[in-house]
A and B are shown apart, each in its own frame.
Chain A
Amino acid sequence: MEPILSVEGISKKFGGTKVVDDISFQVDKGEIMGILGPNGAGKSTTIRSIMGIIYPDSGSIKFNIKNTSKIVPIEKIGYLPEERGLYKNVKVMDVLMYLVDLKNYPKTRAKKRMYEYLEKFDLKGKEKAKIEELSKGMAQKVQFMASILHEPELLILDEPFSGLDPVSQDVFREEIIELAKAGTSILLSSHQMNLVEALCNRIFLINKGKKVIYGGLNEIKESYANFKCTINGVFNGLDLLALPYVDKVEGDESKKIIYFKPNASINTFINEISQNIEVNELHIDRISLHDIFVGIAKGGISNE
């Protein structure tokens, strides 16, 4: 796949602390790439560096977008910042047309697209309303529109789902999938794993400014997501940690969650416990991205 955006070894210091430390990744054409990480991990700083709003201390950012001579091809990039807001005292149409105009996008076409999206987002007839008259969810939809009206080739969404109600989350998610199908490359950041899991082709997991995991979602799941087993029952004093393929055990006397080491055989495990444990309930599944994420945020799982 041809990359549309290449980030190579960027670092940024604020004061004495390194907020972003030697980060490299690519966004391929037509894919949805997710930057994941807990709050304060350096996601927004990375994105602001890409947008040219702040300058990284070192490293390079390259765009592979045709027909532009600019270092940051702003006309072909759409950006939804984490800090949400729009002029309060201004009409929806006016603010959208202003922002589209700053992207040098033809106004008549933008207007047509605006009406289409207003209808799609259930905001029909709101073009003359002032932003302050809209609900928070409506205003976020308008802001989302502002980032896509000019048909960007690369769409960068910083925490697109934060503060959205479930219905709006679905609207946004569907729209993001649709845009990607239409060929838009999307880079989104989030701290909500479940949403990213459902959307992204590849992810970049970042913590404390450093790379933790980078790669395709399935590969990551395979290499990191080991099995875990939840058992409700009577354990008869069995020391599960003594089993060589068990990584750790959580829970109390009646309910335990067993995390397995890589390459553990589930069959062996079932055979061994069946004699000692009176099982009431048993689940075996792979660790979700959420567990990986929480583990990383707590400093439990290392990237090596």
Chain B
Amino acid sequence: MSNTMKVAFWEVKKNVTNKSFLISILLTPIIMVIFGGLPSLLSMLEYNQTHTLYVKDEIGIYQELGQYLNQEEIKTVEYNGTLEELKSEGDHKRTSFILLDEEIMEQQQINIHALDDSRPPTNSIRNALNRIVQNRKMEALGLSSEEIKEVDTNILVNIITVKGEEEDFVRKIIPAIFAAMIYFTIFFSGAMTFQSSTQEKKDKMVEILLSSVKPVDLMQGKIIGCFILGMIQVFVWLILGIPIAYFILNIPVIQLLAIKELPLMLFYALAGYLLYSSIFVSLGATIEDVQSQGNFQGMIFLLPMLPIFFFGPIIANPHGVVAKIGSYFPFSTPGVMLLRLSLANSVPVFDIIISIIIIVVTTFFVMKLAGKLFKTAILMYGKNATPQEILKWLKY
């Protein structure tokens, strides 16, 4: 086995036997689910409660109002007393009161009196009342009830793209989630290479290692090792995620993932990983103390976050000028191309070829430079490298 692979497997072993790595593998998706799902889950708890609406009807439309309201959302109760009398009846929860009189017809305005702090479902009440008022007006124009039903329309909107494929939310969201997951992994594995360099320097392991391995083997070993760790992470997530998606959410993830863009997406992810991790691993080698590690880490990890600037415009138009700029700027190429491939039905071949050339060439040169920097920086003890020193070492 080559020394590169020995270093790689050591990185894997060191982390896999580390509890914090195992916990983070399991915790990350749980945290994501919690942050993604909990707010809507919580709001569902509130919104799905039935609201009680006390109606004092002076114009005889109580029955009609009931027809237009979803009884599970709003339970109507006919009430003959006044608002004051209702209030005095004691504690009311999720309750409001309306007075239906001629004023609605004339002024097209109504007050809903909320009896507690919860918000009455004004939209539903407004829609119901709108229809009743419209019906009254049409009746006044002399239309029969059949004719009124004829007038009532509700248009369903579907988007059909020029290429004839029907837009399917699920078909797109799954590759997009997958792409995001790969990108997320790039991020974390990259962070691991950074920490691995810094840690080895802090633990003063470097010299012992370099008496047995070449610096370039050490660096490549770290990059490959952290890549394997990242893949282990993705693998665990897929093993857990696919059955959950299939059996609980009824999404056939595997079929949806088996799209023709998948190999391309994997290519961009891999290129992005090599690009970022070689930057991280070599910059990690310039750092010694924990504090500047924190500061520095925050700064350079903005790099893979670059595509976020392009998100809005790309979602609006996956082939627009912004999307093209993002695809051609090497540090955002992987993220932007992953996004474009998962959003658009097809990305122009020209863009794909150009971006592949750009990312391959950039990665090649960045890895060469990173090797130079790593070789010199990893042996520096006692202080962090200054930007001037880093520049000087790059020129060697």
Interface residue ranges of B208-244 to A (CB < 8 Å): 208-213
Complex CA distance for A59 and B209, rounded to whole angstroms: 25
> Per-residue CB proximity of B190-207 to A under 8 Å, as 1/0?
000000000110111101
Q: Is B365 interfacial (CB-CB < 8 Å)?
A: no
A101 touching B6 in the complex, CB below 8 Å, given contacts A74-B212, A79-B211, A83-B381: yes
Partner of B208, one of A48, A52, A54, A79: A79
Q: Which residues from chain A contact B203 at a C-beta distance below 8 Å?
A: 85-88
Partner of A102, one of B6, B18, B204, B379: B6
B3 close to chain A: CB less than 8 A: yes
- Please tell me if the beta carbons of A85 and B379 are within 8 angstroms of each other in the complex: no
Residue of A86, A94, A102 touching B212 (CB-CB under 8 A): A102
Contact indicator per residue, chain A 80-120, by CB within 8 Å of chain B (1) or not (0): 01011111111000100011011100000000000000000
B87 on interface, CB distance cutoff 8 Å: no
Instruction: Flag whether B47 is at the interface (Cβ < 8 A).
Output: no
- A94:B13 contact, CB within 8 angstroms: yes
Choice from B6, B18, B204 contacting A83 with Cβ under 8 Å: B204
Given contacts A54-B379, A98-B10, A102-B6, contact A85 B205 (CB under 8 A): yes
A127 to chain B, nearest CB (A): 15
> Are A81 and B14 touching (Cβ within 8 A)?
no
- Verify A81–B211 contact, CB threshold 8 A: yes
Instruction: Name the residue among B199, B208, B209 with the largest chain A CB count within 10 angstroms.
Output: B208
Interchain CA distance A48-B211 in the complex, whole Å: 9
**Known A89-B18, A94-B13, A98-B10: A53·B210 in contact at CB below 8 Å:** yes
A86–B200 Cα distance when bound, in Å, is 8
**Is B209 within 8 A of A102, CB to CB?**
yes
Distance A272 CA – B232 CA, assembled complex (angstroms): 87
Residues in B14-29 with C-beta less than 8 Å from chain A: 14, 17-18
Please report the C-alpha to C-alpha distance between residue A74 and residue B218 in the assembled complex, in whole angstroms.
15
In the docked arrangement, what's the CA distance between A81 and B210, Å?
A: 10
Interface residue ranges of A126-167 to B (CB < 8 Å)? 143, 146-147
Q: Which residues of B contact A84 (CB under 8 A)?
A: 204
List the A side residues contacting B211 at CB < 8 Å.
51-53, 74, 77, 79, 81
- Chain A CB count within 10 A is highest, among B17, B204, B211, for B211
Query: How far does the Cβ of B217 sit from chain A's closest Cβ, in whole Å?
Result: 9
B177 to chain A, nearest CB (A): 33
- Cα distance A84–B379 in the bound complex, in angstroms: 13
Set of chain A residues within 8 Å of B209, measured between Cβ atoms: 99, 102
A99 close to B14 (CB less than 8 A): no
**Most A Cβ at <10 Å: residue of B10, B14, B205, B212:** B212
Pick from A83, A99, A101 the residue with the most CB of B within 10 Å: A83
CA distance A140 to B261 in the complex (A): 54
Chain B residues, CB < 8 A from A94: 13-14, 17
> In the complex, what's the smallest C-beta–C-beta distance from A154 to chain B, in angstroms?
12
A87, B198: Cα distance in complex, Å: 12
**B221 → chain A, closest Cβ, in Å?**
10
> A87 vs B379: C-alpha distance in the bound complex, in angstroms?
16
Distance in angstroms between the alpha carbons of A89 and B207 in the assembled complex: 18
Within 8 A of A (CB), among B163-202: 199-200, 202
A90 to B203, CA, bound (A): 11
* Residues of B contacting A77 in the complex (Cβ-Cβ under 8 angstroms): 211
Provide the residues of chain A in CB contact with B210, threshold 8 Å. Answer: 51, 53
Asked if B379 and A53 sit within 8 Å, CB to CB, the answer is yes
Give A84 to B208 CA distance when docked, in angstroms: 9
Q: Quote the shortest CB–CB distance from B220 to chain A (angstroms).
A: 14
Residue pair A90, B14 in contact (C-beta under 8 Å):
yes
Can you name the residue of chain A whose Cβ is closest to the Cβ of B207?
A81
Check if B3 sits within 8 Å of A102, measured CB to CB.
Answer: yes
Chain B residues with Cβ below 8 Å from A89 are 14, 18
Separation of A171 and B212 alpha carbons in the complex (Å):
26
Q: Report whether A81 and B208 are in contact in the complex, using a CB–CB cutoff of 8 Å.
A: yes
Which chain B residues numbered 310 to 339 have a C-beta less than 8 Å away from chain A? Answer: none
Interface residues in B367-392 by Cβ distance below 8 A to A read 379, 381
Question: Which chain A residue lies CB-closest to B14?
Answer: A90
Complex Cα–Cα for A7 and B212 (A): 20
Given A99-B212, A101-B6, is A86 in contact with B379 using a C-beta cutoff of 8 Å?
A: no
B207 with A53: CB separation less than 8 A? yes
Asked if A102 and B213 make an inter-chain contact with CB atoms under 8 angstroms apart, the answer reads yes
Chain A residues in 8 Å Cβ range of B7: 102
Contacts of B381 in A (CB 8 A): 83
The answer for the CA separation of A17 and B200 in the assembled complex, in Å, is 29
Q: Which of B17, B199, B208 contacts A99 (CB 8 A)?
A: B208
B3 neighbours in A (Cβ, 8 Å): 102
Bits for A252-286, please: 1 = Cβ < 8 Å to B, else 0.
00000000000000000000000000000000000
Residues of A175-199 contacting chain B, CB below 8 A: none
Question: Does A103 lie within 8 Å of B212, measured CB to CB?
Answer: yes
Q: In angstroms, how far is the closest chain A Cβ from the Cβ of B265?
A: 35
Instruction: State the CA gap A101–B212 with chains docked (Å).
Output: 10
Q: Which A residues are CB-close (under 8 A) to B212?
A: 74, 99, 102-103
B119 to chain A, nearest CB (A): 53
CB-CB < 8 A to B204: which residues of A? 81, 83-86
* In the complex, residue of chain B having the shortest beta-carbon distance to the beta carbon of A102: B212
Measured CA separation A102–B199 after assembly (Å): 19
Flag A206-220 by CB within 8 Å of B: 1 or 0 each: 000000000000000
Chain B CB count within 10 A is highest, among A74, A98, A102, A146, for A102
Q: Chain B residue with minimal CB distance to A72? A: B211
List 28 A-B pairs, Cβ < 8 Å.
Answer: A53-B210, A53-B211, A53-B379, A74-B211, A79-B207, A79-B208, A79-B211, A81-B207, A81-B211, A85-B202, A85-B203, A85-B205, A86-B203, A86-B204, A87-B14, A87-B200, A87-B203, A87-B205, A88-B203, A89-B14, A94-B14, A99-B209, A102-B6, A102-B7, A102-B212, A102-B213, A103-B212, A147-B208
Given pairs A87-B14, A89-B18, 18 additional interface contacts (CB within 8 A)? A48-B207, A54-B379, A74-B211, A74-B212, A79-B207, A85-B202, A85-B204, A86-B204, A86-B205, A86-B208, A87-B203, A90-B14, A99-B212, A101-B6, A102-B212, A102-B213, A103-B212, A147-B208
Residues of B within 8 A of A (CB): 3, 6-7, 10, 13-14, 17-18, 199-200, 202-205, 207-213, 379, 381
Closest 5 CB pairs of A and B: A85-B204, A81-B207, A102-B212, A79-B211, A83-B204
